[in-house]
Copies of this chain bind each other. A is one copy, B any other.
Amino acid sequence: VRDLLSRGELSASDVVAILGKTEGNGCVNDYSRGLAVHSLSALFREVLGADDASKILLIMSGGTEGVISPHLTIVSRRADGAPSEGLEKALTAGIGRTPELLPEQIGRRRQVELVAAATRSAMRDAEIDDPGDVHFIQVKCPLLTIEWQKDAEGHGVATVTDDTYKSMAYSRGASALGAGVALGEIDLSEIDDGAICARWDRYSAVASASAGSELRHCQVLVLGNSYRASGDLRIAHDVMHDAIDIEAIRSAASRAGYREASVEFVQAFAKAEADPSGRVRQRRHTMLSDSDINPTRHARAVVGGVLASFFGDPMIYVSGGAEHQGPSGGGPVAVITRRADSAHRSTH
């Protein structure tokens, strides 16, 4: 990043968000996420000052199992003085943020509501009116660390679970439902505490949530296409119904124009989870009963491999734990393509 900035290929003040894959275990005790956030924050504080630096959304997702290559996707945006609408929609981005959550709100309806509000705010920021133009929503959300949970206990407050690893699932689930509520995919009136991480038939087709111990609020990044945006990038999505659903990948790629002569692959975002039924295409899998490797690590390795084999590029973003993010055992997949040259780029 420092190199891109110093070479003038990237202007720090254009940066809206950075999505990264870091090489920890992607589970509770993953300090690679925190280290990356720490380093990037320090860099941007140095360049932009503390105020502007704090506006950049840093979403680090741990776990680069299999061929997934650690990398950063830098989302930048520039006002180009051309307010008139273009002839074609182009990629646009917007961000939103909830207030700090209380430990007892994690994984409960209140988190759903707060994330829905933050998502709407991110859509306005991205100048997207039609929910159908939203193709990827990334939420970074907190998990219940042991300390936070003990704290709540000390105050006589009951949290949704006392298992840190499980709290990641609840927080991701509530976040995804919140994004779905904002897009109209899910009816808030049907979601109560009991539905979260239970009613798997309620899901968002574009939400991706990732939990980390380094924050206590939720951050929302919305990616979509808009006539009001310009540039050569385009985004599209589809929903994988299981971890090996190569047809969904093909369809998302095709909607983004991939395989036309002049269109090249930029980035793919996908969610992965070990099918909770214990089966994939009617065949038993062992991801849920492996006490040595967490199911999310298995699942990321698979989806990462399938995506990388399709696009011929292992530098892709696959995040684990797809609760309410696509159907059970599956997850959303979004693809960004480029027609020519562009201000958005990927580095590592």
User: Does A68 reach chain B (CB closer than 8 Å)?
Assistant: yes
Q: How far is the CA of A285 from the CA of B10 in the complex (A)?
A: 26
CB-CB nearest in chain B for A290:
B29
Chain B proximity mask over A324-340: 1 for CB below 8 Å, otherwise 0:
00000000000000000
CB-CB nearest in chain B for A284:
B69
Residues of chain B within 8 A (CB-CB) of A298 are 65-66, 301
Question: Are B150 and A67 in touch, CB under 8 angstroms?
Answer: no
Q: How far is the CA of A348 from the CA of B146 in the complex (A)?
A: 15
Most chain B C-beta atoms within 10 Å of own C-beta, residue among A284, A291, A306: A291
Question: Are B68 and A285 in touch, CB under 8 angstroms?
Answer: yes
Question: Are B289 and A28 in touch, CB under 8 angstroms?
Answer: yes
User: Does A38 reach chain B (CB closer than 8 Å)?
Assistant: yes
Residues of chain B within 8 A (CB-CB) of A297 are 293
Q: How far is the CA of A145 from the CA of B278 in the complex (A)?
A: 11
User: Does A64 reach chain B (CB closer than 8 Å)?
Assistant: yes
Top 8 closest pairs, chain A to chain B, by CB: A27-B291, A302-B305, A301-B301, A69-B283, A244-B309, A66-B302, A305-B305, A31-B32
Chain B proximity mask over A20-37: 1 for CB below 8 Å, otherwise 0:
001111011111101100
| 6 more A-B residue pairs beyond the given contacts A66-B305, A243-B305, with a C-beta to C-beta distance below 8 A | A35-B38, A67-B285, A69-B280, A280-B308, A293-B297, A298-B301
Given contacts A67-B302, A314-B280, contact A294 B294 (CB under 8 A): no
Question: Are A29 and B309 in touch, CB under 8 angstroms?
Answer: no
Q: How far is the CA of A71 from the CA of B284 in the complex (A)?
A: 9
Q: How far is the CA of A302 from the CA of B304 in the complex (A)?
A: 7
What are 18 residue pairs bridging A and B, where the CB atoms are less than 8 Å apart in the complex? A23-B286, A23-B290, A24-B29, A25-B291, A25-B292, A27-B291, A29-B286, A30-B31, A30-B291, A42-B42, A146-B278, A243-B305, A244-B309, A244-B312, A246-B309, A246-B310, A291-B294, A298-B301
Residues of chain B within 8 A (CB-CB) of A29 are 23-24, 32, 286, 289-292
Chain B proximity mask over A24-56: 1 for CB below 8 Å, otherwise 0:
110111111011001100100000000000000
Q: How far is the CA of A297 from the CA of B70 in the complex (A)?
A: 19
Residues of chain B within 8 A (CB-CB) of A146 are 278, 284, 288-289
Question: Are B289 and A66 in touch, CB under 8 angstroms?
Answer: no
Most chain B C-beta atoms within 10 Å of own C-beta, residue among A27, A32, A348: A32
Q: How far is the CA of A30 from the CA of B32 in the complex (A)?
A: 8
Given contacts A292-B292, A298-B301, A305-B306, contact A283 B315 (CB under 8 A): yes
- Pick from B25, B244, B284, B314: contact of A281, CB under 8 Å: B314
User: Does A164 reach chain B (CB closer than 8 Å)?
Assistant: yes
CB-CB contacts below 8 Å: A227-275 with B: 243-246
Q: How far is the CA of A263 from the CA of B55 in the complex (A)?
A: 53
Cβ distance A36 to chain B, nearest Cβ, rounded Å: 9
Cβ distance A328 to chain B, nearest Cβ, rounded Å: 13
Q: How far is the CA of A189 from the CA of B299 in the complex (A)?
A: 45
